[in-house]
Amino acid sequence: MSSAEMVAELRAPVPSMPPVRYHGVFVRQFVSETAIIFRRRRNIAILAVLGAVPIFIGVAVKISAPRGGEGPAFIGQITSNGLFLAFAALTLCLPVFLPVAVAVVAGDAVAGEANTGTLRYLLTVPVSRSRLLLVKTAGVIAFIIAAIGLVTVIGVVLGVSLFGTHGMTLLSGDTVSVSNGLLRSVGVAAYVFVDLLGLAGIALFFSTLTEVPVGAMAATVVLAIIFTVLDAVPQLSGIRGILLTHHWLDFAGLLRTQVNTSQLLHGMLLPLGYFAIFTAAAWSRITTADITS
């Protein structure tokens, strides 16, 4: 569905709209937005790259067949625990591939409309700017869920197919059932989703500041890199706790017998805080800005 079609969808009047109809229009707008996102070749290519990561890891490990305990975290566990392929893929995607995916989609959300000249037309009809931002945010969240779900599902299916699973041996050495392992896989995916929400909020804010989507994308990626670099400097240990990327890999706690829930909750509250702050800033910007394009 094109941007022009989405403009037509947004022409429905807001003030006199009953709540039920309002929700129906929002759903149609959300469907239109997600259709635009998932039909773009650039986004399809991103999903293809993400889906290829667990395939590449699985085939490489199957060919090399490392003994348990060898290689980076999670890699050595794959041969005896097929479910660990999903965790290894998420671990490799989280520092680079997933942040780039979020930056591309969220950075383009508003700036892309401004760049093509459709943002002004979206707002010339009696359409709430808040509702427009809400639709854009929901579309970005849908893409993040799809990206993480793709990596996780391919990792689980391929891991079990290549290496099988007779229970799941955790990092702590204990063995749990397959159903328990699948539940932990869902928990890890959910944790990674929350991790990326903070970055999505930052990218949406940058997207409201410019009419050049590439600028918003680049600024988001650069900021993520800065967070990572600062987190790696020992002398800056005092500020690590407020860096967005500091707790990104704490989902490893879900792969131990005793799950440290307080650590996981703390790790999730930080990106949620970033998301709340920067989406509020994006809302303030888009509701007060003079839209000229």
Q: Quick one: pLDDT band at residue 16, thresholds 50, 70, 90?
A: very low
Average pLDDT over residues 132-143: 94
Q: Quick one: pLDDT band at residue 84, thresholds 50, 70, 90?
A: confident
Q: Report the pLDDT value the prediction gives residue 196, as an integer from 0 to 100.
A: 96
What is the distance between the alpha carbons of residues 208 and 231, in angstroms, rounded to a whole number?
Answer: 28
* Helix/strand/coil for 166: coil
Q: Report the pLDDT value the prediction gives residue 5, as an integer from 0 to 100.
A: 52
Tell me the pLDDT tens digit for each residue of 93-126. 998 999 999 999 999 998 888 877 776 666 665 5
Q: Report the pLDDT value the prediction gives residue 83, as an integer from 0 to 100.
A: 86
Tell me the pLDDT tens digit for each residue of 163-185. 887 777 787 777 888 888 889 99
What is the distance between the alpha carbons of residues 255 and 172, in angstroms, rounded to a whole number?
Answer: 8
What is the residue whose two structure tokens read 């041969």?
A: 79
Q: Report the pLDDT value the prediction gives residue 143, as an integer from 0 to 100.
A: 97
Q: Are 29 and 3 in contact (CB under 8 A)?
A: no
* Three-class secondary structure assignment of 209-228: HCCCHHHHHHHHHHHHHHHH
DSSP state string for 26-76: HHHHHHHHHHHHHH-HHHHHHHHHHHHHHHHHHHHHHHH-PPTT-SSTTGG
Find all residues with CB under 8 Å of 238, minimum gap 6, and list them: none
Tell me the pLDDT tens digit for each residue of 86-98. 998 999 999 899 9
Tell me the pLDDT tens digit for each residue of 199-256. 999 999 999 998 899 999 999 999 999 999 998 888 887 888 899 998 998 888 888 8
Average pLDDT, the chain: 84
Q: Are 89 and 59 in contact (CB under 8 A)?
A: no
Q: Report the pLDDT value the prediction gives residue 7, as an integer from 0 to 100.
A: 47
Average pLDDT over residues 18-42: 79
Q: In terms of pLDDT, which residue wins out, 293 or 265?
A: 265
Q: For residue 168, which phi and psi values (nearest 5 degrees)?
A: -135, 120
What is the distance between the alpha carbons of residues 155 and 58, in angstroms, rounded to a whole number?
Answer: 8
Eight-state DSSP code of residue 173: S
Q: Are 204 and 110 in contact (CB under 8 A)?
A: yes
Q: For residue 56, which phi and psi values (nearest 5 degrees)?
A: -60, -45
Beta-ladder partners of 179: none
| Number of Cβ atoms within 10 Å of the Cβ of 131 | 15
Looking at the chain, the whole-number percentage of residues with pLDDT higher than 70 is 83
Q: Report the pLDDT value the prediction gives residue 115, as an integer from 0 to 100.
A: 79
Cα 49 off chain centre by: 15
Q: Domain map of the chain by residue range?
A: 3-288
CA count, 13 A, side-chain hemisphere, 214: 0
Q: Does residue 132 carry a pLDDT above 90?
A: no
The span from the first CA to the last CA of the chain, in angstroms, equals 21
Token readout for 172 is 């702590």
Q: Report the pLDDT value the prediction gives residue 114, as an integer from 0 to 100.
A: 81
Token readout for 193 is 């989703």
Q: What is the pTM (predicted TM-score) of this model?
A: 0.86
Q: Quick one: pLDDT band at residue 71, thresholds 50, 70, 90?
A: very low
| 81 residue type, one letter | N
| 160 residue type, one letter | V
Eight-state DSSP code of residue 89: H
Q: Report the pLDDT value the prediction gives residue 278, as an integer from 0 to 100.
A: 97
Q: Does residue 17 carry a pLDDT above 50?
A: no
Q: Report the pLDDT value the prediction gives residue 217, as an integer from 0 to 100.
A: 95
Q: Are 164 and 58 in contact (CB under 8 A)?
A: no
Q: Report the pLDDT value the prediction gives residue 82, as an integer from 0 to 100.
A: 83
| Number of Cβ atoms within 10 Å of the Cβ of 111 | 25
